[in-house]
Amino acid sequence: MLAKKINARETQVPFFSSVTGKLVKEDGELSASYWINNLVSPVLFRGAVEDALATIPSPKTFLEIGPHSALAGPIRQIMRDEKGVDYVPTLIRNGDAMSDLLNTAGQLWLRKVEVDFSSITPDGQTLTNLPSYPWNYQNRYWAESRLSRDWRLRNFLPHDLLGTRVVQSTDINPSWRKMLKLDNEQWLRDHEIAQDILFPAAAFIAMIGEAIRQLSGSSKYTLRRVSITTALVLQEDNSSVSGVPYQISCFSCFIYFLC
């Protein structure tokens, strides 16, 4: 019944059979009896791949056409000792078919395999009568937030005591944040009282003065009735990430100092 339907012709490309394990050379070799043997005979996949490796000149690229890369493992085991041999799948299970096929085309192109890109992206029309494109420098095309702008264009460098201006704070109530470490400010170790390293009162005043300078641009200020009720104790620690975090806000006392 098969013999009446099958007309074996010469193959257009080299055909390595997993039935015989060799290259098909004769015109009538792919007859009805061949396809019967294909159903009942063992699969000589290794022999077919090894014959292809020995026949096809390098570099070689194996392209598996199927719904999944099922033969990736066996092919890589067979060509493990071969040089200049690559394997590329087409479709991957549970993957996007379009993305997989485009990736296959790209992988083949990277391996210097001729790919008919016109079948993927057909030719179109090129517009040649478009007007020129002078850039308009008068308009602004970048919608940047205030936080991003203030972070990029900071007017003041980080201060050793006051820290860095918090960009989320407003001009009405500005804030500064600092992670204080004794390794970075070793002079603070000299202010030791009763075996405790205390943050000096002069340092608090210096922080106020720096905040006033950043807000008003003036280094002149006067302090009256200053009362520091709680000491800031600094601890020695060998950890590189440890420190004393604090955030300073501009309360009404700062406004009083300005006055």
Q: What is the CATH number of the domain that holds 193?
A: 3.10.129.10
Does 253 or 202 have the greater pLDDT score? 202
- Domain end, chosen from 119, 145, 169, is at 119
In this structure, the chain runs to a length of: 259
Residue 252 covered by a domain:
yes
Residue 32 covered by a domain:
no
Q: Please determine, for residue 253, whether its predicted confidence score (pLDDT) is greater than 50.
A: no
Which pair of structure tokens corresponds to residue 200? 């000096």
Q: Please determine, for residue 254, whether its predicted confidence score (pLDDT) is greater than 80.
A: no
> Which value, to the nearest 10 degrees, does the dihedral of the CA atoms of residues 74, 77, 81, 84 take?
50
pLDDT value of residue 169: 83
- Domain end, chosen from 119, 138, 167, is at 119
Domain that holds residue 107: 57-119
Does 50 or 27 have the greater pLDDT score? 50
| Residue 81 exposed, middle or buried by CB count within 10 Å (0-12, 13-18, 19+) | exposed
**Residue 24 near residue 30, CB atoms below 8 Å:** yes
pLDDT band at residue 242, thresholds of 50, 70 and 90?
A: low
pTM: 0.43
My answer on whether 249 and 165 are in the same domain is yes
Q: Which residue has the tokens 């340092």?
A: 203
SS3 assignment, position 74: helix
What does the pLDDT look like over 78-137, one tens digit per residue? 888 777 788 999 999 999 999 999 899 999 999 888 888 887 777 888 888 877 777 777
Beta-sheet pairing, 244-249 with 175-180:
antiparallel
Counting the structural domains of the chain, the total is: 2
pLDDT band at residue 153, thresholds of 50, 70 and 90?
A: confident
pLDDT value of residue 236: 75
Determine what percent of the chain is predicted with pLDDT higher than 90. Answer: 17
My answer on whether 107 and 191 are in the same domain is no
What does the pLDDT look like over 182-193, one tens digit per residue? 888 888 888 888
Residue 169 covered by a domain:
yes
Q: Would you call the peptide bond into 59 cis, given omega within 30 degrees of 0 as the criterion?
A: yes
What average pLDDT does the chain have? 83
Residue 195 covered by a domain:
yes
